[in-house]
Amino acid sequence: MNTNAVIAIHGGAGTILRASMSASAEADYHAALHAVLSAGQRVLADGGSALDAVSEAVRLLEDCPLFNAGRGAVYTAAGTHELDAAIMDGSTLDAGAICCVTRVRNPILAARRVLERSEHVLFTGEGAEAFAAAQGLEFVEPEYFHTEARYRQWQLARGQQRAMLDHDGATLASAPSSSDDDPTPHEPIDPNRKFGTVGAVALDQHGHVAAATSTGGVTNKQVGRVGDTPLIGAGCYADDATCAVSTTGSGEMFMRMVAAYDVAAQMAYRNVSLEEAAHDVVMNRLPKIEGRGGLVAVDARGNVTLPFNTEGMYRGFARIGETPVTAIYR
């Protein structure tokens, strides 16, 4: 039994505007992260697999409207939602992913089914939805994914007639104030300038690691655009021999750097620690092509690292029997 079992999660990275921060919003984020970590921790404490722990954590993050995945996902240029997710089992290198789905309530559960029940790794669009339907997964109307906050973000990005990576657009920093029914009022990380992808990595008591990542993508993205999240090696990677990694940030740069796999590859080929490999990818390599964001990673010894090159990242980790640790800022 591995006594270092641990789960780590993220809920997006980006620019913090202290002026727009409210104590209650900050508390909401900490509470949401804490609840998700507690659920993942329970799975691990009960002897569950890392794969089960990351599936459950990401499913809960998808259901929480505070984050840009599942309910609360951002809008495409056509005013729709297109969701991407991936999951990988470090004990077998099995992987599953789906992209551009519009009605699957929990994309991570569809990705898990791809991992477990398909000979393929990645399904897109209609084919992905047909696969999810055949697997009996829950479908929702597109309105389910709507939140006022993301809709307003989309309106702002549209007004600028460009795709808006969440961290871009300093002019958007002074977005109109929130309405009363807004589920994400005054969130600590400016919603117009953050990456809201969610993800989880875990090491279980059996010594296996797994990773899962899920996103709505970036606001006002072109229909059909796919980012790093559902691409094995870019937004998600897991191998017992090295580590499990889930990323968030400017997807195009994470794809070009094959960021998640690079952490594992550096450990394998350069024989460096998890911490050193992750630090190099996030602090040295990604910034060279203006890649912004961060990642969470664990290795098979139970080391955890949560580096980011933005001002903040919603994040946390929990070991069995210990109080979960959550954080937002540097």
Q: Which of 14, 22, 258 is nearest to 153 (CA)?
A: 14
End-to-end CA distance of the chain: 34
247: annotated active-site residue: no
Please report how close the Cβ of residue 165 comes to ligand ASP at its closest, in angstroms: 8
Q: Which listed residue (102, 184, 197, 229) is catalytic? A: 197
Torsion sign over Cα 142, 147, 152, 154: negative
Residue 143: CB atoms within 10 Å: 7
Considering beta carbons, is residue 5 or 123 the nearer one to ligand ASP? 123
Contact residues for ligand ASP, defined by CB under 6 A: 12, 68, 195-197, 215, 217-218, 227-229, 248-249, 251, 293
Question: Quick one: which H or E segment has residue 190?
Answer: strand 189-195
Considering beta carbons, is residue 229 or 326 the nearer one to ligand ASP? 229
Please report how close the Cβ of residue 92 comes to ligand ASP at its closest, in angstroms: 25
Please report how close the Cβ of residue 312 comes to ligand ASP at its closest, in angstroms: 13
Q: Which of 193, 186, 231 is nearest to 213 (CA)?
A: 231
Coil, strand, or helix at residue 222?
coil
Question: Quick one: which H or E segment has residue 127?
Answer: helix 125-134
Query: How many residues are listed for the chain in this entry?
Result: 330
Q: Is 249 annotated as a binding residue?
A: yes
Considering beta carbons, is residue 175 or 253 the nearer one to ligand ASP? 253
C-alpha span between 196 and 214 (Å, rounded): 9
Please report how close the Cβ of residue 49 comes to ligand ASP at its closest, in angstroms: 25
Please report how close the Cβ of residue 96 comes to ligand ASP at its closest, in angstroms: 18
| DSSP secondary structure letter of residue 167 | T
Q: Is 270 annotated as a binding residue?
A: no
Residue nearest to ligand ASP as judged by C-beta position: 251
Q: Which of 28, 29, 36 is nearest to 8 (CA)?
A: 36
Q: Is 226 annotated as a binding residue?
A: yes
Q: Is 251 annotated as a binding residue?
A: yes
Q: Is 280 annotated as a binding residue?
A: no
Strand order of the β-sheet with 304-305 is 236-238, 243-249, 293-299, 304-305
Please report how close the Cβ of residue 183 comes to ligand ASP at its closest, in angstroms: 18
| DSSP secondary structure letter of residue 79 | S
Q: What are phi and psi of 228, to 5 degrees?
A: -75, -30
Q: Is 250 annotated as a binding residue?
A: yes
Q: Which of 292, 237, 247 is nearest to 267 (CA)?
A: 237
Annotated binding site: 225-228, 248-251
Residues forming the active site: 197
Q: Which parts are annotated binding residues for substrate?
A: 225-228, 248-251
